[in-house]
Amino acid sequence: MIQGNIRNLIFDLGGVILDLHFDRTHDAFARAALRPVEEIRELLNTTAFFNEYEKGLISDEEFRRDVRELLKINMSDTEIDKAWSAMLGKIPVERLQLLQRLKADFRVFLLSNTNAIHVRCFDGIVKSVLQDSSLADFFEVAYYSNELKMRKPDKEIFLHVLHQHQLAPEQTLFLDDNVSNLEGAAAAGIKTFHVEHPAMILSLFS
């Protein structure tokens, strides 16, 4: 249960609100490239253009081109988008309902490392749960790394959100499943909570 002087909540998306299954993307690309899953996982975790895409520094077309060159595959745009988005799982309706309730007592924001292909996909996931809604509807503002040209865990992205809304860091709680991102928020003076499983947010605000 949240106690103290917290007035503002900043949520991560994947692993907090949205279920993540990285293995599904690794498996999809491994099948297409006829290469071991472990090799694909290593490439996706260490190749620079994936972070560049999350910072909005390359376009969808450039990202797909780079994927084809990296994995030596001849997939269509649609096939690449599907494999890349395979990691995005469900958003249970109770998590969206929780966000709606929290807006009555807190200022609620989203801060996600993401990319244009995934934004289109998870907005579709939300629409499949609650028609005529996009993910941004559940927050005062939804911040996406590819639009800000910054990404977590860099301190600057947290300072940007604080500055945009004149949020006091000591009255702000950031919730993320990634410890590195929590450390970036803490460096900006923000209080943090480690979400080890998405179900934790339901009990935290019970």
β-pairing, 8-11 with 107-112? parallel
DSSP assignments along 6-64, one per residue = --EEEE-SBTTTB-B-HHHHHHHHHHHHT--HHHHHHHHHH-HHHHHHHTT-S-HHHHH
pTM of the model: 0.95
Q: What is the pLDDT of residues 130-175, one digit of tens each?
A: 887 889 999 999 999 999 999 999 999 999 999 999 999 999 999 9
Residue 138 tokens, joined: 């559940």
Q: What is the pLDDT of residues 63-77, one digit of tens each?
A: 999 999 999 999 999
What's the mean pLDDT when you consider all of the chain? Answer: 96
Look at residue 76 in the predicted model and tell me its pLDDT. 97
| pLDDT of residue 4 exceeding 90 | no
Map out the domains of the chain with their CATH numbers: 8-19+91-204 (3.40.50.1000), 22-85 (1.10.150.240)
Distance CA 72, CA 32 (A): 9
Residue 74 tokens, joined: 């001849």
